[in-house]
């Protein structure tokens, strides 16, 4: 790995690293925050998956998570949102497909299948790399925003027992039936809509293989609420299948990082309780 940048933050280190991904067949950059407790031994890790047009830096610079993560003793890893540098035909033509829009699926259609396997990257390859090089423990949680919220929920539901907790901000919960998802899934997965259901939160809940409790926060002033996000669909399917869901709606909040920054401490504390870190919450870094 190549160190790209490193800054001291609340007694810990915020860093970016570049590495060669065999899964994605390209070079990738990810960000990692290591709290001061990591200097004494392994710490639990929160995986953060970002949304459309983002990369590994958006959460790091806008969410303001480092202060509380340092107090809790929690590492945070932020992958990029798609392969980079592949320059496939049409890859850079729109914000909701290709660059910055990997949707955390394993593509099956050419030419995307040779690079766009973001699910395998965030579930397998990157965790193995992080554990090889950094003092993080086996305990882990996952969260994300919008497309990344979709990714976090799907990763957790497809891997029962893997993550101690999962949460999402304004997730795309039913991508098999919204414009963003239909465009991405058609390109990455093909025309057979039955194949899409393996990457759809509502469908995975209905399938019933996981009982992973879900925490979802949704702003009611979100421009994409009715056209792309459809939290009421997740609410309905969870009620029908008695799946644990805490869906919290917030007046006046939109889709931006102002929303995430307003509630990120609440999510970090939620994950800390499940990761066994609650007793550290009041201790200074």
**The two structure tokens encoding residue 235:** 């609410």
What's the gap between Cα 29 and its chain centre? 15
Question: What is the residue-wise DSSP string for 33-92?
Answer: EE-GGGGTS-EEEEEEE--TT--THHHHHHS--HHHHHHHT-EEEE--SS--S---TTTT
Active site residue 82: no
Active-site choice (80, 164, 217, 222): 222
* Per-residue tokens: 170: 């304004």
12-21 and 2-9 as β-strands: parallel, antiparallel, unpaired? antiparallel
Q: Which two tokens stand for residue 180?
A: 């963003």
Strands 26-34 and 75-78, by their bridges, are antiparallel
Contact between 244 and 211 (Cβ < 8 Å): yes
Choosing from 143, 146, 165, 210, the catalytic residue is 146
160 close to 212: Cβ distance less than 8 angstroms = yes
For residue 106, the SS3 value is: strand
Say which of 230, 243, 255, 271 is annotated catalytic: 255
Structure tokens belonging to residue 118: 């973001």
The whole-angstrom separation of Cα 213 and Cα 223 is 27
10 Rama sector, left if φ>0, alpha if ψ -120 to 50, beta otherwise:
left
CB 224 within 8 A of CB 255: yes
Which residues, in sequence order, are bridge partners of residue 101?
A: 98
Which tokens is 114 given?
């040779």
Distance CA 31, CA 46 (A): 12
Per the annotation, the verdict on 222 as an active-site residue is yes
Tell me which DSSP letter residue 213 carries: -
Which residues participate in catalysis according to the annotation?
Answer: 146, 222, 255
């Amino acid at each position: 790995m190549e160190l790209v940048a490193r800054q001291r933050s609340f007694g810990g280190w915020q860093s970016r690293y570049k590495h060669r991904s065999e899964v994605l067949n390209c070079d990738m950059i990810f960000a990692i925050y290591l709290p001061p407790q990591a200097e004494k031994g392994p710490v639990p890790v929160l995986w953060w998956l970002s949304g459309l047009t983002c990369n590994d830096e958006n959460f790091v610079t806008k969410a303001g998570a480092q202060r509380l993560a340092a107090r809790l003793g929690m590492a945070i890893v932020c992958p990029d949102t798609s392969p980079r540098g592949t320059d496939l035909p049409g890859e850079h033509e729109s914000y909701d497909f290709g660059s910055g829009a990997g949707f955390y699926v394993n593509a099956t259609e050419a030419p995307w299948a040779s690079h766009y396997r973001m699910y395998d990257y965030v579930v397998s390859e990157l965790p193995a790399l992080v554990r090889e090089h950094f003092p993080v423990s086996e305990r882990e949680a996952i969260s994300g925003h919008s497309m990344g919220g979709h990714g976090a929920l799907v990763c957790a539901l497809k891997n029962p027992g893997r993550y101690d907790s999962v949460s999402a901000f304004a997730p795309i919960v039913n991508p098999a039936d919204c414009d963003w998802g239909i465009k991405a899934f058609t390109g990455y997965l093909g025309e057979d809509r039955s194949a899409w259901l393996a990457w759809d939160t509502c469908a995975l809940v209905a399938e019933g293989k996981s009982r992973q409790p879900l925490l979802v926060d949704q702003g009611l002033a979100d421009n994409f609420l009715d056209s792309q996000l459809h939290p009421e669909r997740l609410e309905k399917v969870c009620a029908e299948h008695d799946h644990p869901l805490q869906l919290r709606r917030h007046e006046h909040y939109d889709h931006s990082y102002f929303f995430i920054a307003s509630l990120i401490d609440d999510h970090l504390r939620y994950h800390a309780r499940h990761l066994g870190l609650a007793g550290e919450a009041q201790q200074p870094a």
